[in-house]
Structure 1
Amino acid sequence: MLRAVLTVSLLLAAGPLLASSFAGTSAGSASDASSEGSSASSGSSSGDDKVVLAAREEAAGFIASEGAVRGARLQAALLHLREGDAQAAQASDLELARQILAR
Structure 2
Amino acid sequence: MTRLPSLLVPFALALLVLPLAAGASSFAGTSAGSASGASSNSSGSSSGDDKVILAARDDAAAFVASDGQIRGARLQAALVHLREQDAAARESSDLALAQALLAR
Tell me the TM-score range normalised by the shorter chain: 0.5 to 0.7
Q: CA RMSD in A?
A: 2.2
Residue 6 (structure 2) pairs with residue 5 (structure 1): no
Q: Hey, what does 2:43 align to over in structure 1?
A: none
Q: For 1:1-60, what per-residue CA distance to the aligned partner results, in whole angstroms no more than 9, with x for missing partners?
A: x67513157x6xxxxxxxxxxxxxxxxxxxxxxxxxxxxxx9441111100000000000
**Higher RCO, 1 or 2 (CA under 8 Å, sep at least 6)?**
2
Q: Hey, what does 2:100 align to over in structure 1?
A: 99
Aligned residues: 71
Deviation at residue 76 of structure 1 after TM alignment: 0.1
Q: Hey, what does 2:71 align to over in structure 1?
A: 70
User: TM-score scaled by structure 2?
Assistant: 0.61
Identity %: 63
Deviation at residue 93 of structure 1 after TM alignment: 0.1
| Amino acid aligned to 2:76 | Q
Flag the structure with larger Rg.
1
User: TM-score scaled by structure 1?
Assistant: 0.62
Q: Hey, what does 1:22 align to over in structure 2?
A: none
| Amino acid aligned to 1:90 | E
Question: Please, which runs of 5 or more residues in structure 2 have no aligned partner?
Answer: 1-5, 16-35, 41-45
